[in-house]
Amino acid sequence: MKLKCSLYDFYRDDLIPNLKNNTQMQIVQISDLHVGSQFLQEKFDILVDEVNKLNPDVIIITGDLTNEGLMKEYEQCTSFLRKFNTKKIITISGNHDYRNTGYLLFKKFFPFETVNELSDDVVLVTVGTARPDRNEGEVGYRQNLWLERTMKKYKDKVKIVAMHHHLIAIPDTGSDQLTVVDAGDVLRTVLNSKVDVVLCGHKHRPWAWTFGALTVVNAGTATSERVRGFFENTYNILTIANKTVQVDLKIVGGKRLPIEDIVNNYSQFGDV
Ligand SMILES: [Fe+2]
Ligand SMILES: [Fe+2]
Contact between 248 and 257 (Cβ < 8 Å): yes
Tell me how far apart the alpha carbons of residues 21 and 86 are, in angstroms, rounded to a whole number.
Answer: 19
With vertex at residue 253, the alpha carbon angle to CA 164 and CA 18, rounded to the nearest 5 degrees, is 85
Q: How high is the pLDDT of residue 23? A: 59
Tell me how far apart the alpha carbons of residues 204 and 176 are, in angstroms, rounded to a whole number.
Answer: 13
Q: How high is the pLDDT of residue 17? A: 44
Ligand 1 center from residue 223 Cα (angstroms): 10
Phi/psi of residue 6, nearest 5 degrees: -65, -25
Ligand 1 center from residue 53 Cα (angstroms): 26
Ligand 1 center from residue 115 Cα (angstroms): 23
From the CA of 179, which ligand is nearest? Answer: 2
The 3-state secondary structure of 63-95 reads CCCECCCCHHHHHHHHHHHCCCCCCEEEEECCC
Ligand 2 center from residue 203 Cα (angstroms): 7
- Strands 214-218 vs 207-211: parallel, antiparallel or unpaired: antiparallel
Nearest to 187 by CA among 156, 170, 166: 166
Contact between 34 and 4 (Cβ < 8 Å): no
Tell me how far apart the alpha carbons of residues 128 and 140 are, in angstroms, rounded to a whole number.
Answer: 9
Q: How high is the pLDDT of residue 269? A: 59
Ligand 1 center from residue 9 Cα (angstroms): 28
Q: How high is the pLDDT of residue 11? A: 36
From the CA of 163, which ligand is nearest? Answer: 2
Ligand 2 center from residue 141 Cα (angstroms): 21
Tell me how far apart the alpha carbons of residues 77 and 147 are, in angstroms, rounded to a whole number.
Answer: 29
CA distances from 32 to 4, 35, 82, 84, 121 (A): 24, 9, 17, 16, 28
**Burial degree of 269 (CB within 10 A; 0-12, 13-18, 19+):** middle
Contact between 188 and 145 (Cβ < 8 Å): no
Q: What is the pLDDT along the chain (272 residues), one digit of tens a residue?
A: 333 333 333 333 443 444 444 458 999 999 999 999 999 999 999 999 999 999 999 999 999 999 999 999 999 999 999 999 998 999 999 999 999 999 999 999 999 899 999 999 999 999 999 999 888 899 999 999 999 999 999 999 999 999 999 999 999 887 766 678 999 999 999 999 999 999 999 999 999 999 899 999 999 999 999 999 899 999 999 999 999 999 999 999 999 999 999 999 887 753 33
Q: How high is the pLDDT of residue 160? A: 98
Tell me how far apart the alpha carbons of residues 99 and 156 are, in angstroms, rounded to a whole number.
Answer: 39
Ligand 1 center from residue 88 Cα (angstroms): 22
**Burial degree of 252 (CB within 10 A; 0-12, 13-18, 19+):** buried
Q: How high is the pLDDT of residue 172? A: 86
Segment holding 103, helix H or strand E: helix 102-109
From the CA of 178, which ligand is nearest? Answer: 2
Please name the amino acid found at residue 265.
Answer: N
Q: Which CATH number fits domain 24-271: 3.40.47.10, 1.25.40.10, 3.60.21.10, 3.10.20.310?
A: 3.60.21.10
Per DSSP, the residues of 130-176 read --TT-SS----HHHHHHHHHHHHTTTTSEEEEE-SS-SS--TTS-S-
Contact between 258 and 248 (Cβ < 8 Å): yes
From the CA of 226, which ligand is nearest? Answer: 1
